[in-house]
Amino acid sequence: MVAQASPRVAVAGNPNTGKTSLFNRLTGANARVGNYPGVTVERESGTWRLGGRDVEVIDVPGTYSLAARSAEEQVAVRALFGLDGDPRPHLVLLVVDATQLVRNLYLAVQLAEAELPFVIALNLADVARAQGILPDPARVSAAFGVPCVPVSAHTGEGLPDLARVVGEALAKPPRPRVSLSYPAPLVADAARLEAFAAASSPGEARALALWHLLSVDDTDELIDIPDAVRREVLAIRAGAAGRDIDGEIVGTRYDWLVAQDFGVGKRVEGPALSDRVDRVLLHPASGGLVFLLVMAVLFQALFSWSEPAIGAIETAFAWVGDAVAGALPSGIASDLLVDGVINGVGSVVVFLPQIMLLFFLLGFLEDSGYMARVAFLVDRAMRSIGLHGRAFVPMLSGYACAVPAIMATRTLERRRDRLLTMMVVPLMSCSARLPVYTLVVATVFAPGATWLGLDARVAVMVAMYLFTTGMALVAAGVLGHTLLKGPRVPLLLELPPYRMPRLATVLRQMWMRAKTFLTEAGTTIMAVTVVLWALLYFPRDVQLSRDYDMLRAGASDEVAAQLSAEESAERLAQSYGGRMGKAIEPIIEPLGYDWKLGVGVVGAFAAREVFVATMGVIYGIGDDADEASEPLRERMRAERRPDGSPLWTPAVGASLMVFFALSAQCLSTLAVVRRESGSWRWAAFLFAYMTALAWVGAFVAYRVVGALAA
């Protein structure tokens, strides 16, 4: 007996309708995350135990309409029509916000036109009932010819009835119906496209034709649109002078919806609480102050609250490394396992506290309804550089760490907006740059030095943060009007009602993001870390070890430690990474650097803060040196060029800080960009443009500061 495949149910609906909360209620812990083919939009699916059998449930990305202008927006229609490489769903579960009925039912009109079997779940039924506007499920059902069940994903109300109705619909799929009278010219236009549609029914052919008319134009980013269809749509649009094709389609659908009697009651009089709160949060002055306070808490979490967890992870991996090193004989195998593999895994896991905190807080703010207000508040300023308000939070998160900030670009709908934000987020001064700034400032500026009447060290640190913020905005403006140029799409934003976030949903989404990072980006980061370790470890000079072993024999502990530090410095200079530092010396010499700084720059690609430890090894202090190490600073200040002049001058310090501020010296960031963009091409472009920008910026800083100091 051949086992039958599990029935497939696609959960669809507008954003902020509680669609994902309902999906989580239905699937519980039986969910998994992947990607839709060809795009980076996450695909979440799960198993719903229904009537003694397993039902596969797909969470379709939230959409207001099946019309689309980007490949990511196209995901919804491809998933519902079975065009994403998987079989077509047996049933669509349409989640509708009962408090925003007409706008939410626009999607129901499109599903009914396509003759796709669906069931309507009137979510937020408890809220609508309290406001006196709960629709009559029977009238909604009669209008579309499909079952309609009032539910509340938050409280669990109506879920048994929904399970029963879905089970019945899977056994006998409903046949939706709507009768709309489109203008005759539009019907003729659609007929020209229906011939190209590989549809299973006349209704589906008409629906796909209208979808193409709404979605295809000169600026769309859609994939897999046949050339013949694209030519026909553009010809129809070119010949429709004086007509508004989009308006004809959308207007006809809304006219039909408005004419229906869904039994919606009259809203309870009096200003809603959300309206009173919005008067404060959306005001340019008071809203800006609240936003700054919220962002301060967010940054405090990313910088400080995660620090104990990060410290614990670093301590744990250091302990494991020491234990393994103590248990194994010294040699290449031990060094590979400890410094390569264990440290490589540690370099991945150490990001988890910040990633989990960021996505927990973003999920909490999103679920509460506040993030939509933030996007509205900053949209005007962001549009001036080619982005809209939703890009602001990922950019701001870059001050803590670019890795979770780039992952946060998933909140942006258009691929173009996500790519543009990814390309500029690494320019924000992340916390990993701070040790470099601190070491350099403390080395080249003597205590008590002033600049423009301020303590030079404080002034330079503030200037670096202002500089990187300005460069990120400039880069966004340039890229947004050149390589990633796109039409200015207005921010179509629904201000959802404020609600208490469902903790289980927020935690689950947080864990899904963290797991995705560990399994996908984390593997790349670890592999690259091992490669970089090998560059700084090989080749091994056996005679060098014997010479230093002879020198250490009988020496005091202090002298032996110093000899070991010198051996490490000499080994680093002889390594492939050290040779690379010497090889690039002609390129970095115009920036005021010598080969030792070249080695530091190469080593910093593992992580920017590694630069400090690399300098410790090069200057014979040891790899446990940090930015507060006075012996390291003294060795750096004492460094001389061949002509006897000091190497570490304010000009070199300014040049190095600008280079670190603008360069893409973080393999973890490049790995995450590759993961989120779906291609190494964008990661390579990010590395190339930021490296070129860093060289030019460092060159200018070296010359200008040098001239001012002369």
Which residue ranges make up each domain of the chain? Answer: 1-269
Report the C-alpha gap between 628 and 307 in whole angstroms: 18
468-480: per-residue pLDDT in tens?
888 988 999 899 8
Strongest mean pLDDT among 135-144, 299-308, 344-353? 135-144
State residue 541's pLDDT score: 80
| pLDDT at 486 > cutoff 80 | no
**Pairing, β 31-35 against β 148-150:** unpaired
Residue 359: how many CA atoms within 13 Å on its side-chain side? 26
Q: What is the mean pLDDT of the segment spanning 359-388?
A: 78
- Helical (H) or strand (E) element with 23: helix 19-27
| pLDDT at 447 > cutoff 90 | no
- Helical (H) or strand (E) element with 437: helix 434-444
State residue 363's pLDDT score: 79
State residue 365's pLDDT score: 83
Report the C-alpha gap between 23 and 512 in whole angstroms: 14
Strands (E), 117-256: 118-123, 148-150
Strongest mean pLDDT among 9-23, 546-560, 596-610, 651-665? 651-665
Q: How confident is the model at residue 487 (pLDDT cuts 50, 70, 90)?
A: low
Helical segments of 45-100, H only: 74-80
State residue 73's pLDDT score: 63
Dihedral sign for Cα atoms in the order 166, 170, 175, 177? positive
56-81: per-residue pLDDT in tens?
998 888 888 887 666 656 777 778 87
Mean residue pLDDT across the chain: 82
State residue 1's pLDDT score: 36
Alpha carbon dihedral 554, 558, 563, 565, in 10-degree steps, equals 150
Q: What is the mean pLDDT of the segment spanning 555-582?
A: 81
How far is the CA of 331 from the CAs of 175, 193, 335, 545, 547, in angstroms? 72, 70, 6, 11, 17
Q: How confident is the model at residue 270 (pLDDT cuts 50, 70, 90)?
A: very low
Strongest mean pLDDT among 284-288, 536-540, 583-587? 583-587
State residue 564's pLDDT score: 78
| HEC sequence for 614-668 | HHHHHCCCCCCCCCCCHHHHHHHHHCECCCCCECCCHHHHHHHHHHHHHCCCCHH
For residue 288, give every residue at least 6 positions away whose Cβ sits within 8 Å of its Cβ, in sequence order, or none.
377
| pLDDT at 357 > cutoff 50 | yes
Helix (H, G, I), strand (E, B) or coil at 119: strand
Let me know: does 525 contact 347? Beta carbons within 8 Å: yes
Q: How confident is the model at residue 302 (pLDDT cuts 50, 70, 90)?
A: low
Helix (H, G, I), strand (E, B) or coil at 425: helix
| pLDDT at 567 > cutoff 50 | yes
Q: Which amino acid is at 501?
A: P
Q: How confident is the model at residue 422 (pLDDT cuts 50, 70, 90)?
A: very high
Q: What is the mean pLDDT of the segment spanning 395-407?
A: 79
Q: How confident is the model at residue 454 (pLDDT cuts 50, 70, 90)?
A: low
**Pairing, β 42-50 against β 31-35:** antiparallel
Q: How confident is the model at residue 267 (pLDDT cuts 50, 70, 90)?
A: low
Let me know: does 43 contact 33? Beta carbons within 8 Å: yes
222-233: per-residue pLDDT in tens?
777 888 889 999
Q: What is the mean pLDDT of the segment spanning 99-111?
A: 91
State residue 627's pLDDT score: 59
586-607: per-residue pLDDT in tens?
999 999 998 888 888 887 776 7
Q: How confident is the model at residue 36 (pLDDT cuts 50, 70, 90)?
A: very low
Give percent of the chain with pLDDT exceeding 70: 85
Phi then psi for residue 330, to 5 deg, are: -65, 145
Helix (H, G, I), strand (E, B) or coil at 605: coil
From 18-22, 147-151, 175-179, 243-247, the region with the lowest mean pLDDT: 18-22
State residue 621's pLDDT score: 64
Higher-confidence position of 428 and 374: 428
CATH 3.30.70.141 fits 1-269, yes or no: no
Higher-confidence position of 303 and 294: 294
| pLDDT at 699 > cutoff 60 | yes
518-527: per-residue pLDDT in tens?
775 567 667 7
| pLDDT at 272 > cutoff 80 | no
| pLDDT at 39 > cutoff 50 | no
Strands (E), 109-167: 118-123, 148-150
| pLDDT at 362 > cutoff 70 | yes
From 181-185, 423-427, 458-462, the region with the lowest mean pLDDT: 458-462
608-663: per-residue pLDDT in tens?
777 877 777 677 665 555 556 677 788 888 888 888 888 889 899 999 999 999 99
Which pTM was predicted? 0.66
191-236: per-residue pLDDT in tens?
998 888 766 677 778 888 888 888 888 777 777 788 888 999 999 9
Higher-confidence position of 182 and 296: 182
Bridge partner list, 150? 122
